[in-house]
A and B are shown apart, each in its own frame.
Chain A
Amino acid sequence: MAISNADGDLVTRERKMKKIEDDWRPSLRKWRTEREHKIYSSKLLEALRRVRSSTPETQGLRRSRVIREAADRALAVAARGRTRWSRAILSNRKLKLKRRRPAPSSLQSTFTAAGDRHQSTSKTNRSPILERKAAVLGRLVPGGRKLSFPMLLEEASDYIAALQMQVRAMSALATILSASGGTPPEGERSIT
């Protein structure tokens, strides 16, 4: 029971905090797994091939935008519809083409409603500065405009994790495609 015990306790606490944190938010780790990466890459390839076959002659901006939207849609599909931003992407782009998932959305909406009720009973939400920043973030995250602040943060965290995976996958793909277009680089190891 010396002072050193306190330090050890701190380490233990940090470890435990991490473990407890991971217990209730395991969802973010899935965006870093190899499996998700492969799933997304294959979906991306499919989408790219479709784009390539559908509009082979369009150049420049239009093509890149189409590709970007296809990539976003593939990412949203990879999210399996459990997050709000993925549903927003899919509902915006493929109107009525993809079947909605009413169960999770209703659950989410009820939870959001409960959260809003909490908010309404409490005092002032945030300072106006924070409100403004939250609004900006809501505009950035697809489907995040009418979200409450904690829900917005949760959506943003999942969205950021998914975006990171998307960037990694697309950069790998771009490097491979550009590499195999020319001579295969032998020493190229890093794809970032």
Chain B
Amino acid sequence: MEPARCSGAGSGNSGAYATEMTETLRFEEEIQSLMRDNVIHQGFECSSPENAGGSSFTALLGLHPSQALELLHEVDPSSSSGFRLGDPKTARLPLNCSPTFPSNATLIERATRFSVFAASEDSPEGSSAFPSNSDGDHSPNPKSDQPDSDLKPQRQVKRKETEKSSKAKAPSKKGKPAAGDDGEGSRANPDGEKLPYVHVRARRGQATDSHSLAERARREKINARMKLLQELVPGCSKISGTALVLDEIINHVQLLQRQVEILSMRLAAVNPRIDFTGLDNLLSAECGRVAASGHGPGWVDGSCNGVMRRSHQYDDQQQQIWHVELQQQEAAGWERDETQQLHHPHQHHHHHHVFISGSPPGTSLFGYDSAASALPLASQLKSEM
């Protein structure tokens, strides 16, 4: 991606920070559009250097020296920015080191754009869905891909007076890496959630005191978990707003618990009728089959063998149950790891072996073919009784 040629909207600070959370996709498009327009705003804020302040400006530059360089050198900044953004300030490059810096203004603009760019991907949903008024900067629209192309260029270096970049580790959920900029995505640290302390990068124009940083980290964590929950609960993805999502979650949990109660009543009703000591044969067979195909067969084999030996004592009714169970189990729509046949735990049990050999191996559907072959076997066993 070509570096953004200036284009910056030198227009004054619109003070619109709602665009902080704008998606990087829109940012990409913007950059491209800006590149195409090739508008060079020389009317860049002259006050920007002074607003940048001493430490913050150098800090800003220090963080993005290589990116600025790359921008100026029209090298694809994507990969580098992804890596460089995480660099500690030791990578600071003084301004006079690079002779190719056209102007401070342009550099600042690009650097800030990249900082926004990088920062905005920290938590694209970071803008709280909650009506938090701590920063006042976040748009109340967490998941909107607001194409604020107007506001983006207007987002100014101005505010970077308050910007501070702490450590590079992005907090909680990484969100969407830069479109096409795979390097950006690599910057997103997936370990952010596991760390006991979440390191937050302050976005442009946001307060960098510890309170808002902690608040932002918290909010991002919460948003990440809410997203996870939304994926879990069916029909929750289209709902926006935490309260409604929470309602859905609560309803879903209540529904599941009620289902468990109903099922337990069913099981209680059906319990005395069946001697389901033979059922663990079925389950162990299933366990053995699945385990040997995909996982370590250690404990399963042990339990399988133990159960199989116990099954010798039972009558043929168990066999029938077992075949029925197998049909049922096969019909269950579970995620199948492997459905290959498992022979070795059953080889020394002749009646099981008969059944196993009857099933065609490698049935991916795992239900229908073996069920069809199991039926004649069941009838055979019945006739043998």
Contact = CB atoms under 8 A, between A and B. Distances in A.
Interface in A162-188: 163-164, 166-168, 170-181, 184-186, 188
A71 interface: yes
B192 A129 contact: no
Interface stretch (B100-108, B149-157, B221-229): B221-229
A173 B185 CA distance: 45
Given A118-B218, A184-B320, A133 B211 contact: no
Interface string B248-292: 011011101101110111111011111011011011101100110
Given A121-B214, A129-B243, A6 B29 contact: yes
A32 B335 contact: yes
Residue of A17, A56, A175 with highest tally of chain B CB at under 10 A: A17
B176 interface: yes
B218 A178 contact: no
Contact of A28 (B228, B259, B260, B333): B228
Nearest to B307: A42
B283 A170 contact: no
A135 to B, nearest CB: 10
Given A45-B276, A157-B232, A13 B332 contact: no
B324 interface: yes
Contact of B321 (A21, A46, A114, A180): A180
B259 A167 contact: yes
A99 interface: no
Contacts of B354: none
Given A68-B264, A167-B263, A173-B267, A6 B272 contact: no
B84 interface: no
In the complex, which range does the number of interface residues on chain B fall in? Answer: 35 or more
Contacts of A124: 132, 134
A160 B229 CA distance: 9
B74 interface: no
B185 A13 contact: yes
Contact of B328 (A71, A156, A159, A175): A175
B260 A167 contact: yes
Contact of B246 (A6, A118, A133): A133
B291 A176 contact: no
A24 B194 contact: yes
Q: How large, as a class, is the contact surface on chain A?
A: 35 or more
Contact residues of B: prevailing secondary structure: helix
A126 B378 CA distance: 61
A130 B283 contact: no
B232 A172 contact: no
B264 A67 contact: yes
A65 B264 contact: yes
A117 B277 CA distance: 52
B335 A45 contact: no
A1 to B, nearest CB: 6
A24 B193 contact: yes
Contacts of A14: 176
A26 to B, nearest CB: 11
A3 B266 CA distance: 57
Contacts of B368: 189
Interface string A138-153: 0011000000011001
Contacts of B327: 184, 186, 188
A115 B272 CA distance: 49
B329 interface: yes
Contact of B263 (A20, A174, A185): A174
B279 A45 contact: yes
A9 B193 contact: no
A130 B368 CA distance: 48
Interface string B154-174: 000000000000000000011
A114 B28 contact: no
A161 B214 CA distance: 29
Contacts of A133: 243, 246-247, 250
B88 interface: no
Contact of B266 (A23, A150, A178): A178
Nearest to B285: A38
Contact of A10 (B25, B173, B196, B225): B25
A20 B190 contact: yes
Contacts of B197: 114
A130 B253 contact: no
B329 A176 contact: yes
Interface string A91-109: 0000000000000000000
B28 to A, nearest CB: 6
B250 A179 contact: no
A118 B194 CA distance: 16
10 contacts: A5-B1, A67-B264, A122-B134, A140-B257, A153-B229, A156-B249, A170-B267, A173-B267, A177-B273, A181-B274
- Those 5 A-B pairs whose CB atoms lie nearest each other, nearest first: A9-B179, A153-B225, A9-B180, A68-B264, A184-B324
Given A13-B176, A133-B243, 8 more contacts: A24-B193, A34-B335, A68-B260, A123-B215, A153-B225, A166-B256, A175-B328, A176-B325
